Chains A and B, each alone.
With several copies, the nearest count.
Chain A
Amino acid sequence: MYNIRLQDFEGPLDLLLFFIQRDEIDIFDIPIAKITDEYLEYVRQMDEVDLDGVADFIYMAALLIHVKVRMLLPKPEVDEEGEIIDPRQDLVERLLAYMRYKEAAEGLDVLHKKRGSLFTRGKASAPEIERDVVDTIVNTTVFQLVSALGRILAEASDAPTLAVEEVEYKVADQRAFVAEALSRKEKVVFGELVHDAPKRFVIATFLAVLEMAQQGLVWLALTPEADDFYVRHLSDPLQNGDLRLN
């Protein structure tokens, strides 16, 4: 058995391609039973692969087994015109397409490296003029603004994983959660509110709090240490002039 590491492969197609290249297999006539067994053998040792990749490898395993089973059918499958369908056809097409782009990626890498030895002007070098700052026109859309907000929130979290066992936390639910907490206590520290909770919970709660603040239902104030903030219940939402709408 070859001592290879799954993380050296970009994904299941890359791994299959490796088998094919290594064993000089005719890509148009893949010995599916053999390659499936070999593939499964590698996938079994997959403990080291991070969760992100597992689903993709397992999906391919299922697909390979399925093709293998179809190959074993006593009567070959036929399409509408009575032509025999090779169960491997889709897989082969995918492998071929992947090969082309994989090679293109290597080509891009070469371009990128070449470009890497050309340097553009650094910040120290600059034109000797006074820039008219106030006259700059902002070339940005509201969508970009919203994306920026999304980015802040997304980056507050760990690297995302595939939604395997993730529980969904909805902003609406978290609003109720916050409201409930504030019904017991007029003022809570955000950090305590979400103490030890999963990131998704924290973010949903944060969004809920932001939303409530925007609607004047709560008021946010920084704690004296400035490392957390209070969420305070506002009894009379009409008082709130916090958002200067227009």
Chain B
Amino acid sequence: MITEDDLPESDDRLRELARAIEALVFAADEPVEARQIASVVSEVSQGPPPTEEAIREAVDFINAACEQQERPLRIRQWAGGFRMTTTEDVAAYLKVYFRSDRRQKLTRSLMETLAILCYKQPATKPEIDYVRGVDSDYALRRLLDMGLIAVLERSDAVGRPLLYGTTPRFLEEFGLSGLDQLPNLREIEELLSDPSFSQARASLLMMQGIQQQEPPEPRDSQEES
């Protein structure tokens, strides 16, 4: 437990900074960036702005205290800013309270479109269509409406198509502090050698109650083609 005795002299400053941060992050409707916190604190205290390191330290201090006190709130770093959320272990209460998932479910086609965009951005609609093999018009419009993607700029290609990319809101909705936190795309070789590769879809379809016969005799594809 962090107590007053353990803290260095700058204890009071840290505590006051932590109070400011907790209030700001609680009150804001979106992730609050460190520089925003610094500028607010500096204006109110009429002093120099706290460093990013001090802010991070104060956030850690808040989270440690919350954890020690078993409080169900934490400050997380999402989309380049700080955001207050509940902890996972109280999710059951909230799910019962809200009944349905308050968050919009993303269909597979939205997920695919997002996946392509977040690894390959900026990308044009034709590029996305090509990878998916289907027209992504509806998916792109839904994602734009949901604020998960945005038009970034125009490409220099013929027709100057629009270039799409993900938004900070996407990061927030997926609990990422930045795009660099996305897992790496797996390499083809790795994917193909994964034993789950051939079974994944089949078992998925089975689970959906779709009848399936045994697959044909294993064969050497080299000979048949």
Contacts and interface: CB of A to CB of B under 8 A. Distances in A.
Interface of A: 2-5, 8, 10-14, 17-18, 21-27, 29-32, 34, 52-53, 55-56, 59-60, 62-63, 66, 70, 90, 94, 96-109, 111-112, 114-129, 131-157, 159-163, 166, 168-171, 174, 199-200, 203-204, 207, 210-211, 213-214, 220-222, 224, 226-229, 242-246
Interface residues of B, number: 103
Given A21-B199, A139-B106, 8 more contacts: A4-B210, A14-B133, A21-B200, A24-B221, A31-B225, A102-B115, A200-B204, A214-B120
24 contacts: A8-B205, A10-B108, A11-B134, A21-B201, A22-B202, A31-B225, A100-B188, A103-B186, A105-B111, A105-B114, A111-B175, A112-B111, A115-B175, A136-B102, A139-B106, A140-B111, A147-B192, A148-B114, A152-B112, A160-B201, A162-B135, A163-B203, A200-B204, A222-B124
A179 B62 CA distance: 68
B99 A132 contact: yes
A8 B108 CA distance: 10
Contact of A145 (B76, B86, B115): B115
Nearest to A67: B222
A114 B28 CA distance: 20
A146 B106 contact: no
B88 interface: yes
A150 B207 CA distance: 11
A188 B115 CA distance: 25
Contacts of B192: 27, 146-147, 150
B53 interface: no
A1 to B, nearest CB: 8
Given A118-B86, A244-B121, A59 B130 contact: no
Contacts of A118: 76, 85-88, 91, 175
B118 A145 contact: yes
A101 B106 contact: no
Interface stretch (B3-11, B13-21, B40-48, B142-150): B142-150
A21 B137 contact: no
A138 B191 CA distance: 22
Given A125-B84, A245-B178, A8 B137 contact: no
A116 B103 contact: yes
Contact of A135 (B99, B112, B178, B213): B99
Nearest to B133: A13
B125 to A, nearest CB: 10
A19 B105 CA distance: 28
Nearest to B136: A11
B191 A207 contact: no
Nearest to A227: B130
Contacts of A142: 174-176, 182-183
A195 to B, nearest CB: 17
A72 to B, nearest CB: 13
B142 to A, nearest CB: 9
A123 B148 contact: no
A160 B223 CA distance: 28
Contacts of A136: 102-104, 146
B130 A226 contact: yes
Contact of A203 (B84, B173, B205): B205
B208 interface: yes
A246 B188 contact: no
Contacts of A138: 103-104, 106, 146, 148, 173-174
B131 interface: yes
Contact of B132 (A108, A152, A168): A152
Interface in B115-165: 115-116, 118-122, 124, 126-127, 129-135, 137-138, 141, 145-148, 152, 157-158, 165
A5 B210 contact: yes
A125 to B, nearest CB: 4
A111 B174 contact: yes
Contacts of B205: 4, 8, 150, 153-154, 203, 207
